[in-house]
Amino acid sequence: MRVGRDSRLGGALSASILLLSAVTLAAGSVTPSSAHGSVAMAAAESVAAPTLPPRERAVGLVEPADRQPVAFRSPKPAVAAPAGAPAAAAAPLSAVLVGALGIPELVLQAYRSAEAQLATSTPGCHLRTLADEGRTDLLTLGVTPVLAAQLDDPYSLDGMHHWLGNWQLRAAEAAGSRDPDRRALGHREHRRSAAALHEFETRWRHGGAPRLRELADSGAVELLGGPSMHPFQPLLDPRLRTFALREGRADAVRRWGRGTEGIWAPECAFTAGMELDYAAAGVGHFMVDGPALHGDTTCGRPVGDTHVVAFGRDLPVSYRVWSPKSGYPGHSAYRDFHTYDHDTGLKPSRVTGRSVAGPDKAPYEPERAAAAVRSHVEDFVDAVRRRLRSEHARTGSPALVVAAFDTELFGHWWHEGPAWLAGILRALPEAGIRVGTLAGAKRDGYVGDPVDLPDTSWGSGKDWRVWAGDPVRDLVDLNAEVTATALDAVDAAPPGGLRDRVADQILRETMLTVSSDWAFMVSKDSAAQYARDRAHKHAHAVREIADARVHGHHARAADLASGWNQADDLFPDLDARRLQPTGREVRA
């Protein structure tokens, strides 16, 4: 039964905000209100005046332990690619500077920056601040297993600590400048970096899992997990797809002490039959893009003959933020992402105009940005209200709005994003619109009739072209070949109850090979060569370990597996015994 059948309109805002991915829901009455104006003002103040921790509570910078960066090449002992392997696998890979979990330092810098900005917005999008006010069911946050691993990795934490300290040093340098604009920038950034360092050293130094668990336990957020390594599931062998899903869900339990009812399906991708995989794995709901439901996203839909519910992203509302042409982050008052002060590495400018070159951009003005945040909070609340009313008029039932975004948008690409997010999470309830989670929406009856979903994704064209089109056909073929090699090697091992570390590593490297990110980066020509190198690096690992095992060189296979595991250092609990072999199921 649906809730809210009186004169009020229901609604649900799903804001996928992740350094990760996420979803927020809003449901309840929609009544005109001006209260959200003052609420937005309070949130926007975090842009203008970051808070410095009291001096007596400040924690000093601790130099992180030294650790040499990793270069992409086979671990000891180095073994040539087996006969018949593509030339790309045998060719020496370019030495790319990488950090934790084999992720390039350039990419790590982006995520560290995003986390730093998230941590220093006060109240910003500090979900803990909102939770401490007694607010619950704020949003649904999707955290991919590979990101959860990075947030808990000691080397990543050392790197984050180092980056924050470096930020503070660069800010101090700018604060001593004779140039008044650079000096003001330095003072502002020093306050922000000090607050970030305090937050990290007091709350994040032991990893992200305790913080995420804290938010989930308080009822502030619903966490979504997902398949390990973030694969494009429709193109996976069904056995590997099931294995990836179950390993990812097991990893969530290990990190957060709880299973997740829903998952963030990588790339919102789907093909017929996946709903059966989800049902068998205990998944209750997942996300697709709006066009997969023909734009009718006012409620979740059970898929096929299962009880697994698909929620669709509301594009008209989501694109208030997400549109590259008219989205909020491109406003002239907001801090420009691309322009740097090259002497300090700080970002001194505002967008100013889309066609304005970097050297000609105006200095960033926090007060101007705060005013834009207030305006965009009000605009978003009005857009949600209009959408709920129009959908209620169309369907005659309380409506749901699900607005989903990648979380790195908030604080990284969009400096003011955390303040805007905090603003809408406060302003929507003040406007009579109840925010909530996907699980809450399902619990409250926002579920319609069953639907058969098409082949879909949230990529270009809403189909699979980004991950299966001509530019990445070679990667599709590589993934199929590597998967077959891995499954044959694992299936050839005699059944038994003991842990098989060689089989574990074969499957670990296979899952790293088929990550959806590699094809995406190639299709979008974003560090495309790096993406190809990564895919072929992991494929090479699968081939050489499997080749040693198949030819009876068990000691060599174990040595290779150990070396690759040390290089990747990811998902130590991954267990090949949980792969369902053809014709029988083995439970560990």
Which residues does the annotation mark as catalytic? 267, 406
- DSSP class of residue 22? E
Alpha helices in 121-179 (DSSP H): 127-132, 145-152, 154-175
Separation between Cα atoms, residue 491 and residue 320, nearest integer Å: 50
Could you tell me how many residues make up the chain? Answer: 588
User: Is 101:508 a contact under the CB 8 Å cutoff?
Assistant: no
The residue type found at 513 is T
The tokens describing 222, both together, are: 């619903």
- If you search the block for the tokens 């003001």, which residue do you land on? 184
Instruction: For residue 506, give every residue at least 6 positions away whose Cβ sits within 8 Å of its Cβ, in sequence order, or none.
Output: 486, 489, 490, 542, 545, 546, 549, 561, 576
Terminal C-alpha separation, the chain: 41
> For 281, phi and psi rounded to 5 degrees?
-90, 0
User: Is 399:11 a contact under the CB 8 Å cutoff?
Assistant: yes
* 6 alpha-carbon distance from chain centroid: 38
The tokens describing 244, both together, are: 């990836």
User: Is 242:509 a contact under the CB 8 Å cutoff?
Assistant: no
Number of Cβ within a 10 Å radius of residue 108 = 20
* 66 alpha-carbon distance from chain centroid: 28
Separation between Cα atoms, residue 41 and residue 138, nearest integer Å: 19
User: Is 576:490 a contact under the CB 8 Å cutoff?
Assistant: yes
CA-to-CA dists, residue 216 to 18, 97, 100, 211, angstroms: 15, 35, 26, 9
The tokens describing 12, both together, are: 């649900």
- If you search the block for the tokens 């070159």, which residue do you land on? 357
